[in-house]
Amino acid sequence: MNELISVIVTVHSVKKYLKKCLESIVSQTHRALEIIIVDDGSPDNSAKIYSEYARRDERIKIIRQRNKGVAAARNAGLAAATGKYVHFIDGDDYLAGKDYYVKMLTAALKAGSDITVSGFRWQAKRKTIGTKRLKTVKEMPGKIKVMNEYPAVWRYLFNKSFLDFQRIRFDQVLRGAGGEDSIFALQALYFANKLTLVPETVYFYRKNPNSICNTKCLKRIKQLESNNVYAQKKLYKFAETYQFSLANLNRWFVPEHLMTAR
């Protein structure tokens, strides 16, 4: 199994967590990795950490850009990616297990799926979400059910040629964070031939108190709300265009604690 996976790591103010994130990637038993670190104008000392890893591991590539937001950072990573598959990781998260990519890739190749789905550990809720058995989903209601568990793209291993053929990229109208994952995920899930859900794979999603989704800063709260309103309209427009229902889609656009933080 020599298929190359492009792992796109977005970095912005994650110095406290970045070492654990990178260590979980470089220690994977699947060695055919292209690790693309996109520094989105991070104001902290994250560069010192990832530069040290890059000196020790030739698989690591570094892209630096002024702060444009996570959507632009991920698109920059996609533009540089050469792997057959692509996976997005936020710099404050990590992979729980050294065989994460072995299990994901094995399932992807066996099923021929455009998207392979892992479980994840949600630190804030202290629970693990995922399937207990290998499972294939083809119909849109089932895809919406998977998306409802949490609409983040870091849960998915994407076939890169599929993303390119469908021209699926992150919406850079969204300058900060909020909404970019749900738009990308819905488009990808709709066009995917099928999803393969893989048991015993865990992406550890950390609740970073410095992230925009956990902020109490009024300016950033307004930005998040604006982004999510924009995303909601775009999701429903997409569903209308392709004539499927979003009636069962969860409303996870603006976390409740942000709405009460005014």
Taking the domains of the chain in order of start, what are their residue ranges? 5-207
Mean pLDDT of the chain: 90
At which residue do the structure tokens 């991920």 appear?
A: 74
Pick the range with the lowest mean pLDDT from 180-194, 225-239, 244-258. 244-258
Which pLDDT does position 175 carry in this prediction? 74
Confidence label for 122 from pLDDT (cuts 50, 70 and 90): confident
Pick the range with the lowest mean pLDDT from 110-119, 170-179, 189-198. 170-179
For the entire predicted model, the pTM comes to 0.91
Which pLDDT does position 215 carry in this prediction? 47
Average pLDDT over residues 242-248: 90
Strand, coil or helix: 252: coil
CA dihedral 115, 120, 125, 126 (to 10 degrees): 170
Find, among 2, 153, 166, 156, the residue nearest to 84 by Cα. Answer: 2
Find, among 206, 196, 58, the residue nearest to 115 by Cα. Answer: 196
What CATH number labels 5-207? 3.90.550.10
Which pLDDT does position 21 carry in this prediction? 98
Q: Does residue 116 register a pLDDT over 90?
A: yes
Confidence label for 177 from pLDDT (cuts 50, 70 and 90): low
Q: Does residue 213 register a pLDDT over 70?
A: no
Q: How far is CA 88 from CA 17, 35, 44, 81, 254, in A?
A: 16, 10, 21, 11, 22
